[in-house]
Amino acid sequence: MIPSIAEAAKQIAARSLSPVELTQACLARAETIDPVVHAFIQQTPDRAIAEAKASEARVMKGESRGVLEGIPFAHKDIYETAGLATTAHSAVLKDHVPKADAYTVRKLADAGVVMLGKLSTHEFAFGGPSFDLPWQPARNPWNPDHMPAGSSSGTGAAVATGMILGGTGSDTGGSIRGPAALCGIAGIKPTYGRCSRMGVLPLAQTLDHTGPMAWTVEDCAILLQAMAGHDPADPASADVPVPDYRAGIGSGVKGLRIGVIRHFHETDNPVSPATLKGIDDAAAFFRKEGATVRDITLPSLAEFNACGWIILLAEAWSVHEAWMKRDTSLYGELLRDRLIMAAGLSAADYLAAQKKRLELTARAAAAAADCDILITAAQPGEAPRIDAVPKWGFLEKPNFTIPFNVTGWPGLTLCTGFGEGDLPVAMQLVAKPFQEALLFQAGDHYERAHAWRARRPALVG
């Protein structure tokens, strides 16, 4: 039985679970499972055991750092870690050893987590799944022939299989919410500016978000509590008080106003039958529990995607321009060709997209004015085979997540069951800026009323 963070925290606090034994159990799972799913770029078992022993000593002395004390954890390999390589899953940075921790890495360490290593990503959080990089791409923990989505793919696979209890992700167009959906876990992209990006390798500065991924919604709330906060070193960081993210958990959804963005997942990009059933069942559940549920219409997915992708590509090009002009051979084919495409955009394209962004955000805000939470898909369906992912898939069909990178609104993905191939399906709950607590309240209420958390991938045994 793999505990959630909340369960493990209670047992550690009661001294009925040893952080060292918990860490050893995660390391043992990693030893057998990771050669199949490739979630880790680098494991740090010696460091993990040393940190777990220090954690256990604090607990025994009555000096626990709190709910994350002794929790096995790992970071997406774009989060800088002092003295430990941070590669972005790319040959470009394979020898990059930062001198300092990212702000959120430090905050989580100060909260007591035990770090087990660095996790696979798509190259620089954008190019993947790729087979021409120094490390294998992560695979789907429910069926390794399938993809786990990206770019926080290693985090999704490692959490689902219990190699860690929680991990960091980043989300520029859906890179937390996508892998959370296809790996059957929970993940939240907080409001833009809620968590610092200081020390996290950039993809696109005005769309980049950092956030947590974990097995349950409540665990995401616990992790966001530790990650959130103002950081003057990140110019986008919001100086907004951090509420108690678990305060609303257990209080149900009665009176909440929920809008279903039905055209996103039924017309703009029709989803699989199991995904649609999960969303419809969740909407019916929320209505039965006392929420008001109605359909709402936002600007189309195509409009959001055009705006988001132009901004993402233009900003990514500004990050990689110097390296690309010097030597493109260090990049994998996927990222290289996407950056070549980005180089074709003009300053006018970028400014037109930023202008469109304000318009789309204003239209979305007006449409959702009398809603507390929105529901739509997080992914179009079950995970595709990893060897059948189209190179230019992001241009072929609009995704469901980038609209909320464009608006900056928080989005939570959670499992809604299992579909074709017994692979997980998911929904995305969205709220207004800085209303993450509402997402946790509603998401946790749904999650506790359904049985999806009782299952782990067969690889876990």
Partner 1 sequence: MQPPALSAADFAVLMAKAGLSPTPAQLASVHAVWGAMEAMQASVRTPPAGTAPLSAGAAAVEPAVTFTAERG
Which active-site residues does the annotation give?
76, 151, 175
Return phi, psi of residue 86, to 5°. -130, 105
358 in contact with partner 1 (CB under 8 A): yes
CB nearer to partner 1: pick between 82 and 367: 367
Residues whose CB is less than 8 angstroms from the CB of residue 396 and which lie 6 or more positions away in sequence, other chains included:
390
Residue matched to tokens 């209670």: 10
Q: How many residues bind partner 1 (CB under 8 A)?
A: 34
Selected range binding partner 1 among 17-25, 151-159, 357-365, 425-433, rule: CB under 8 A:
357-365
Q: Give the one residue of 163, 306, 374, 459 binding partner 1; rule: CB under 8 A.
A: 306
Q: How far is the CB of 255 from partner 1 (least distance, A)?
A: 29
Q: Give the one residue of 56, 234, 303, 315 binding partner 1; rule: CB under 8 A.
A: 303
- In three-state secondary structure terms, 389 is coil
What letters, b where the CB count within 10 A reaches 16 and e where it falls short, cover 411-450? bbbbbbbbbeeebbbbbbbbbbbbbbbbbbbbbbbbbeeb
CA dihedral sign of residues 179, 181, 182, 183: positive
CB nearer to partner 1: pick between 294 and 391: 391
344 in contact with partner 1 (CB under 8 A): yes
Q: Quote the CA–CA distance of 385 and 178 in Å, as a whole number.
A: 15
Q: Quote the CA–CA distance of 112 and 357 in Å, as a whole number.
A: 39
327 in contact with partner 1 (CB under 8 A): no
Q: Quote the CA–CA distance of 187 and 406 in Å, as a whole number.
A: 18
Q: How far is the CB of 27 from partner 1 (least distance, A)?
A: 42
Q: How far is the CB of 434 from partner 1 (least distance, A)?
A: 16
- Residues of span 178-217 touching partner 1 by CB under 8 A: none
Q: How far is the CB of 326 from partner 1 (least distance, A)?
A: 10
Exposed, middle or buried by CB within 10 Å (0-12, 13-18, 19+), for 260?
buried
Residue matched to tokens 């709190």: 66
Give the CA distances from residue 107 to residues 10, 165, 214, 248, 385, in Å, rounded to whole numbers and listed in that order. 21, 17, 17, 24, 37
- Residues of span 362-381 touching partner 1 by CB under 8 A: 362-363
Q: How far is the CB of 303 from partner 1 (least distance, A)?
A: 6
Q: Give the one residue of 330, 345, 367, 460 binding partner 1; rule: CB under 8 A.
A: 345
49 in contact with partner 1 (CB under 8 A): no
Which residues lie near partner 1 (CB under 8 A)? 299, 302-303, 305-307, 309-310, 321, 324-325, 328, 336-337, 340-341, 343-345, 349, 351-356, 358-359, 362-363, 391-392, 395-396
